[in-house]
Homo-oligomer: A and B are copies of this chain.
Amino acid sequence: MAKPISVETLHTRVRSIFEKCGMSEANAEAVAAVIVAGERDACKSHGIYRIEGCMRVLAAGKVEPKAVPELVDTGKAVIEVDANGGFSNPAFDAAKAALVARAKETGLAALVIRDCLHFSALWHDVEALAKEGLASLSMCPSYASVAPTGGKEPLLGTNPIAFGWPRPAEHPYVFDFATSVAARGEIELHRRAGTEIPDGWAVDKEGNPTNDPDAALAGAMLPFGGHKGSAISTMVELLAGAMLGEFMSKEALDFMGGTHLLPRHGALVLALDPATFSARSGRDPLAEGERLLTAIGAQGARLPSQRRFKARDLSLREGIELSDAELAQLDLFEAQGLAAL
């Protein structure tokens, strides 16, 4: 194990990889920021492991490396940004200030991201809004890989949903999870290890419950929480797909022809201003929120994202430990860009 690398140095290296791959400076900066944030938070599934996936989609010509996001703001509570075939992250960054301003002005605003490639954890965006004092909900479809509860064919995506709530003296309250009970990668790990998957994770092609990872991969994953989770996943398809006139998970899969490249679809972010909502009550909404959140901790329950924040604090203090293989890959990508694939 080499000595830890600082968050700033890692950011600079990842950004230079994406620039080497032909991305504009702004796009390389935004995508590097979200990937390094994942690595910093020990959220390996959304860390530097994602660099290669981004490079593959660049190499395939399925993402616009120099896309310039276009803000469309007609003064309503709904603000739109066209990613113009680029990654979602620079589009969010380009629209964030307008979303924050509108939410504070009118109490509640939505951001629609159109025509983007989406691969990043949603907590990055809801945390950015929490820093501005806003509560927010973020959701997007993905690739059809989950059957509705009671069904048998992949129709829903893993459809993540994230929520952020500002805390005055702490990291924000943030959850961000897939509405599937497990990630496809977890089933793949069981397949490689030759172990059974737990009950409730998946059904086979005929819709029967299965513990066999091969049968699961040929069948469909299941939503978390039975019919309730299935209903929430369906809501994500409707609100962040159909409502926006952007792809739902089935269409995203059909369009890309497989899950080997990142999905292309839209995304929806709702931002709510607690100061506006509470104004007439005479109560401080964030102080009220603290009463609940500290009471949850006081009874020994874990708040979501707590492990992530702990890892973040450590990374910022002591740097990030990467394996020799990871460092060698960074060297290779930085030297050769897309030719390294």
- Enumerate chain A interface residues (CB-CB to B < 8 A): 72, 76-78, 80, 105-110, 112, 114, 135, 147-153, 155, 163, 165, 173, 175, 177, 179, 207, 224-232, 234-235, 237-239, 241-246, 248, 250, 270, 272, 274, 276-278, 280-286, 288-289, 291-293, 295-296, 299-302, 304
Contacts and interface: CB of A to CB of B under 8 A. Distances in A.
A285 B245 contact: yes
B277 A106 contact: no
Number of copies: 2
Contacts of A238: 135, 165, 173, 289, 292
A80 B107 CA distance: 12
A289 B110 contact: no
A299 B155 contact: yes
Given A78-B277, A165-B238, A302 B150 contact: yes
A150 B280 contact: no
Contacts of A135: 238-239, 243
Contacts of A76: 105-108, 276
B77 A77 contact: yes
19 contacts: A77-B77, A107-B110, A114-B280, A148-B301, A150-B301, A155-B292, A165-B235, A225-B229, A237-B292, A238-B289, A242-B274, A242-B289, A242-B292, A243-B272, A243-B285, A245-B277, A245-B282, A248-B292, A250-B292
A326 to B, nearest CB: 29
Given A225-B226, A246-B281, 5 more contacts: A76-B276, A78-B276, A108-B270, A225-B229, A243-B277
Contacts of A114: 280-281
A272 B299 CA distance: 37
Contacts of A225: 224-226, 228-229
Contact of A235 (B77, B175, B284): B175
Q: Which of A147, A177, A272, A293 has the most CB of B within 10 A?
A: A272
Nearest to A299: B151
A239 B235 CA distance: 18
A218 to B, nearest CB: 16
Nearest to A278: B245
B151 A272 contact: no
